[in-house]
Structure formats: C-alpha cells, structure tokens
Structure 1
C-alpha cells in the first residue's frame, strides 16, 4: 500500500513527477514526456517525466533534479493496472528518494486504474472502428474484445475485466469480452474464435495499451488474421490510448489523491497482502521488497527492438543489507563494505550487494538478506561478511549459525 508523508504543499512549492515504464523505443518515451508537458499546462505547476528503467532520467535522478526547487514532489504513475511495478518497484524508488532527501516531501500516487474517463475514451476508440467497418451498434450486432497486456498479478487482470464490463453497461454492444496478449488467459486468438461462434456482424478489437509498440502491433495482427479467417464477420482493431486529453483527467485525479493522502490501493485482492489460490508463495512484503530491489538493477524491456520475450540479465544473487537507523547503529555500514570487498576479492562470487531500507527486524540486526534464496541473516558482524561470501555466495552453503529466518 502506498503511503504519503504530510499535508499538501502550496502549489507554488510543489512539482509532479510523471513516472513511465521506459522503453528502448524512444517514441514510447516521448509519449510520456508529451503527457508530462500537457499535464504541466493543465495543473499549472512543474511536471517532469521519469522512468522506471531503460530511459533517462531514472526516478531517483528526476526527484533529485526537482528537490532543489520545491519542497514537495508527487509521483503520478502512468501505469494502466496495479501489478508489481506499481505495488513494489515505484514505491521502493520513492522510499529511497525520501531517505536521500530529508527536507523533501514525496507523495506516491496510484496507477491509472479503472476510471470513467478511460471508459469514455475506449467508447470513442470503438466508435472509430465501427465507422471504418461501416457498422452501427444500434442496428448491427457488434462485439467488442478489449485486449490488455496480461499480468501474473490476478488483481491487475481482474481490473481489465471490470473495465470491459463498464464499457458494456449502458451501451448497445452485443457483448464486450476481455482478452490478453500474453501471460494469462484467455489469449486474444482464443477469445476471438469464441466470439465468432455467435456470428456477430462485426468484432471491434480494442488494444488497451498506452502506446503503439510491439504488443499493440500483435493485437492488430491478430485482428487482421481473424478478419481473413472469418469472412462473414467484419473485424478491425482500434488505436491505443496515446496522448488523448482524457488521460490528463485521470492523471489529475491521481495527483490530487496522492497530495491529499487519499490514495486507495486494492489491498483486499493484492497477492502480496493476502493468500490467493495459486499465488500463496507471493504473500509477504519482505519477498516483494527483495524482488523490487533486484528488479531495479536487472529488469529488461518486454518490447525490446529484437521483439524478444521479457528477460532478466541478473546476477546469481542479490544481497540486501539493512542500513536503516537501528541496523546502522549496530554496524551495518561496516558489514556492507566488508561484504562488497569480499565479493570483489572472490573469483566465484556473482552477486550484487546493495543497501536496503528497513527490513522490519529492528533489534535483530544488522540484517543481511540473500535473494533469490530467501535467507535472512541476523546479528551479522563485520567479521561474518567473509563467511557469507565464501560459503553462501561462492559455494551455495548457508551459514547456519547466522540464519534469522528463511522465506
């Protein structure tokens, strides 16, 4: 769950950071910058663009650039649904920025989510395709397939279904179905074949994407292939959301929520907060924190230039050393430096060793967490660092007398 720090600052002393995912495709990054400029004009305060990865500036650099000019920064996330980026990665970056800039208030805003302006925008995208196909939902049987990216987070996928239902309610569509281009089911091809069995007059495929990238292209290709295979059904694909002004309505609402401490995350269905069938191993903020820390360094873009699947070029291990106040007092900085030195001296160690904010074990530290093994060492002294490297990181042998817990 996102948290904020204080009451909203004066608009004269406040800025916004619009956080995009980042891409190797500069066109996608320019879309974020365009929306940032438009949002600045809308709100009347400075709005900069920052990126989670693969583009500059990174979130911490962007916040540092604003810190000297204002006393408060509100992040607004240009993410459609709340999956791991929204729940883990951006909040971690924001928390690290708070610790770096003591005199700066940093509010963390929510994702775009399900919003009436987005439903209206999708309705217009569907109407544009209907006009191209020469059909009218009032007189013809028009089916709509809303196609989203797909996620390993059921909470995010459920919002896609909710959005489709809202698009259906009160409109004359014959039906509105949900599909995904990857990761989860139903996939677009499967959903289109199912819809065809009802023999509608037309099928409108709506890519629920921000930009016109690889995945949007795959959705268009899927619609075109379906159109060829089923000559008795007119089919076409719409445009992505782009930089439509209605996105600014949503971003403005998310900004106002964040700066007034009114962000409402979906914790009741969050796989990191509650046990969901099939996702039991994801429960626990500590695991999510470690995943997010590793992600900051190793995540690669799904939509890369070679059209390759989402990959990680990660080191074998990621070691997080809590350097929050209690652990720092107990000697964590010295442990951190000794671990780094031992790793540099080792020929076998393939690990990234970084600082961490509080790991929630105050009084039991210094705490050292090794991911992906899920082994937490407690009460670690500077003299223990070489054992952790030589035994655990070099030879995959847990230092049993230091183990605090395993995840």
Structure 2
C-alpha cells in the first residue's frame, strides 16, 4: 500500500489511517497476503490502511508510522498476530512508544486477532473442505480435528489455542478436537497425531492455525502426510491456513474500533509479565520482556542489506526507558523524561533514544530509568540527575553508581 495511491481520498488522510502489522517473512507470498488484507480492510473501513512488518520485510513499523504521520493526525495499529505473545505485548508497543516520542500524531494500539466467532466459522469451513476431499461426513463418520498452532514461550498464547480447539468442538459433530503445536511447546503435532491413532478414527483433519502459507504450514502438511502413510486405517489430510479470507476483515474491523475507542481488552489476568505463573515467575514486572524486545530490535540493527535480511533498523547506541506509569509519574518521572531529552539534545556526543515506558515492576523505588543495551536500571532519579546521567553514562559510558537500582 502506498499513500501515493490515486484512489485514496486526501481528506481521509487528514483525519485517520490504519497500520496493519504483520510478522514478516522471507517468503514474498506471505508478505503479499498481509498487503492484500490491508487493501481489503481499506475497502471495508473506507479509510487508508497501510501494511508494516516486525521483521524480514519492509516497511518496518517505525518507517510506516513516520510516513503516515506526515499526512494524517491519527494512526490506529491493528495486529495480524493470532495470539498475544511477545510481539503483541512487547515489540509492537515498544515501537509505538518510540514513535510517540518522535512524531506529532495520535497513535492507538489495538489487540491481536484472538478468538472471534468469525474465526471459528472460518475454521469450521476449512474442516468441511478437508472432509469433502476425504469423502467423510462428521455426522456419520468418526472425524477428529487437530488445530495446530505455531507454539510460543508465552503460556497465555498457548492456552488460547486450547480454548479455540474447545470452542470448535462445542456444538459440532466432531468426535474430538485437539490442540497441538509445531514447536516451542507441547503437545507437538506428531505426538498428537500418534495419540489419535489409538482411537482409530475414520479421518483426521489437521487445521494449520496460521495466517500465511509459509514454511510452517508446509511442515504441517508434511507431518500429516507422513502420519497418513504410517497409519493406513486412518485417512488424514491438512487443510489451508486462514489466508486472506474476507471474514478476517470482520475481526480486523472489530479490533480497529476497539482501539480507537479506548476499549481494548487484553488477557492481563493470565499474562506472565503481570502475574505469578508457575515456572514464569522471573518474567513478572516486564524487565525481561523489555530486554528481550530491545535485544530483538538490536539483533536487526546495522546489518548489511542482503537478500535474506531485507530490513534493517538504524538503532541508536543506547536506548533509555523512563517509567511513566502512575506511581513513577506521581514521583516526578515526566520531568525526568523531559530533562533527559533536553540534555541529550544539548550533548554533542549522546547517541541515545529516550522514550516512555510502562510499569517496570519497581513501584515505590522510582522514578525508574533503564539504559540498554547496558542493562542498568537507575532508581529514585530526580530531574536534576539528568545532566549526570547524560554526561557520564550516555556520553562517556560511566555508570552513575549512587543512582543504580539494579543491573540485568
């Protein structure tokens, strides 16, 4: 999508635009699917919709926002991510916070696609298509379904795959519906398929729960074909991913409306960055989440523009995050943020990006200032400390020891 498209209304740009954010792939076909969805959403909403990518494709989120900020007053970010894992919870919000510090534009951040009736209908239709190819009928034959997700290190996202599978089972005549994953977590697709063989169903329908048709969907097809060969008494076949089905536009439209009306609902009660979940206690507070997001960004910085890595981020030497959550804000963090920016602008040597941050999990010890990639957190920072932080740490790499709260 390009803002130079003659079919677009200039007056619409003066008011609002949408940025549809996909993951990005080395496969041009997968990236083109995101652009196709953006075009469909633009027709549905009647306002400009551009596409951007987290990695492996262009434009990057910051570049896309910069382009839109020049021609519109409000940008709403809508996610192509199916579930809320680290990209939704960390990477995109970080990019948006950086953009807010750089551009004079209102930015709204929407939720992931999540679980939606339109998606359940779409999966049901994908299953019916596979049943037709296998010449089975769920009302007369024993048909099992496997919903196969990518797999994540976030238990919240993995739990939603199981919820989706259960909702697909409810009210339908499938013998059973199982959740499985390609990797990262369990049960894997291979284990799930072998487990289903013990029930001797007439057919197994495997549904890749992915947006694009890429490497992982091909792996789903390959593993399903191997299972079909190994168990001649069970007919097994994998269906198509979600693709660019028009029902996805209904979900995107809902997420857009939620974001622009400040009614986004996230699964905070089961978010590993906010509550103690067994085995994920060290992630609470956002410290590791932030470190992971910044490391992910820096991993793509200053690379040569080669064919298999078509994007780069022009990253600064340091990234400074100032907590502006309620407690730190009450203790004066907005003044700290502004003074740091002033001192950084006045410095001839400072190469740092200074942005706001959400809660860093150190309430009561603030205002908190985190400097990366150094992993140095400063606590109880006052506005008058900004000059020392810039002159010593940001300019000369000398830690201001009396302000250090913790190091990561």
TM-score, length of structure 1 as denominator length:
0.82
Task: Pick one of 48, 51, 55 that aligns with 1:49.
Answer: 51
C-alpha change, 1:144 and 1:368, in structure 2 (3 Å) is closer
Once the two structures are superposed, residues 133-168 of structure 1 have per-residue CA deviations (whole angstroms, 9 ceiling, x without a partner) of: 111101000000110000000000011001101110
What SS does structure 2 have at the residue aligned with 1:177? strand
In the alignment, what sits opposite 2:112? 111
- Verify the 8 A CA contact 1:319 1:370 in the aligned structure 2: yes
Cα distance in 1 for residues equivalent to 2:20 and 2:126? 24
Shift of 1:68: 2.8
In the alignment, what sits opposite 1:356? 355
What SS does structure 2 have at the residue aligned with 1:183? coil
- Structure 2 unpaired stretches of 5+: 1-10, 302-306, 323-332
In the alignment, what sits opposite 2:5? none
In the alignment, what sits opposite 1:271? 272
What SS does structure 2 have at the residue aligned with 1:160? helix
- Verify the 8 A CA contact 2:83 2:113 in the aligned structure 1: yes
Shift of 1:336: 8.8
C-alpha change, 1:328 and 1:264, in structure 2 (3 Å) is closer
- Verify the 8 A CA contact 1:74 1:108 in the aligned structure 2: yes
Cα distance in 2 for residues equivalent to 1:69 and 1:387? 35
Shift of 1:55: 1.4
- Verify the 8 A CA contact 1:328 1:366 in the aligned structure 2: no
Alignment of 1:117-132 (within 5 A): 117-132=118-133
In the alignment, what sits opposite 2:248? 247
Tell me whether 1:185 sits opposite 2:186 in the alignment: yes
- Verify the 8 A CA contact 1:336 1:355 in the aligned structure 2: no
What SS does structure 1 have at the residue aligned with 2:236? strand
C-alpha change, 1:101 and 1:137, in structure 2 (3 Å) is same
Alignment of 1:338-377 (within 5 A): 354-358=353-357, 367-371=369-373, 373=375, 375-376=377-378
Shift of 1:370: 4.1
Tell me whether 1:16 sits opposite 2:25 in the alignment: no
Shift of 1:98: 2.0
C-alpha change, 1:211 and 1:381, in structure 2 (3 Å) is closer
Shift of 1:92: 1.5
Alignment of 1:119-268 (within 5 A): 119-268=120-269
- Verify the 8 A CA contact 2:344 2:352 in the aligned structure 1: no
In the alignment, what sits opposite 2:85? 83
- Structure 1 unpaired stretches of 5+: 1-8, 307-312, 342-351, 393-398
Shift of 1:272: 0.5
Once the two structures are superposed, residues 273-324 of structure 1 have per-residue CA deviations (whole angstroms, 9 ceiling, x without a partner) of: 1010000111113432332233223269xxxx99xxxxxx9x9x98432478
What SS does structure 1 have at the residue aligned with 2:213? coil
TM-score, length of structure 2 as denominator length:
0.81
Shift of 1:83: 0.2
Tell me whether 1:327 sits opposite 2:336 in the alignment: yes
Once the two structures are superposed, residues 202-231 of structure 1 have per-residue CA deviations (whole angstroms, 9 ceiling, x without a partner) of: 111110011111111111111000001100
What SS does structure 2 have at the residue aligned with 1:112? coil
Cα distance in 2 for residues equivalent to 1:372 and 1:148? 35
Task: Pick one of 38, 41, 53 that aligns with 1:39.
Answer: 41
Cα distance in 2 for residues equivalent to 1:145 and 1:179? 7
In the alignment, what sits opposite 1:385? 393
- Verify the 8 A CA contact 2:208 2:239 in the aligned structure 1: yes
Once the two structures are superposed, residues 248-267 of structure 1 have per-residue CA deviations (whole angstroms, 9 ceiling, x without a partner) of: 11111111111111100000
C-alpha change, 1:406 and 1:131, in structure 2 (3 Å) is same
- Verify the 8 A CA contact 2:213 2:241 in the aligned structure 1: yes
After TM superposition, the structure 1 stretch with the greater mean CA deviation from structure 2, 221-230 or 90-99, is 90-99
Shift of 1:373: 4.6
Cα distance in 1 for residues equivalent to 2:297 and 2:373? 14
In the alignment, what sits opposite 1:58? 60
Cα distance in 2 for residues equivalent to 1:230 and 1:90? 43
C-alpha change, 1:189 and 1:372, in structure 2 (3 Å) is farther
Cα distance in 2 for residues equivalent to 1:212 and 1:287? 31
After TM superposition, the structure 1 stretch with the greater mean CA deviation from structure 2, 381-390 or 165-174, is 381-390
C-alpha change, 1:202 and 1:67, in structure 2 (3 Å) is same
